[in-house]
Amino acid sequence: MIPPQPHLHFLPLILPNKQTVSLIQYSSFLHILLILLLFLPYMITDMFLPA
């Protein structure tokens, strides 16, 4: 059976309730932290050892 309104299933993902907003902020913070941890050695070596 096909539900009459399947787009209502994705509505909680779009609606900014507190749990999803905090989860999005937490995941973006983790991504920024991971990117910083990955690029920090390259930035430090570029600062101390200029090419």
CA dist., res. 51 & res. 23, Å (int)? 40
> pLDDT digits over 5-23, tens only?
555 555 555 556 677 778 7
Q: Are 20 and 13 in contact (CB under 8 A)?
A: yes
- Computed over its alpha carbons, how large is the radius of gyration of the chain? 20
Split at pLDDT 50, 70, 90, the class of 4 is: low
Q: Are 50 and 42 in contact (CB under 8 A)?
A: no
3-state secondary structure of 51: coil
Task: Say whether pTM exceeds 0.75.
Answer: no
Q: What is the pLDDT of residue 22?
A: 81
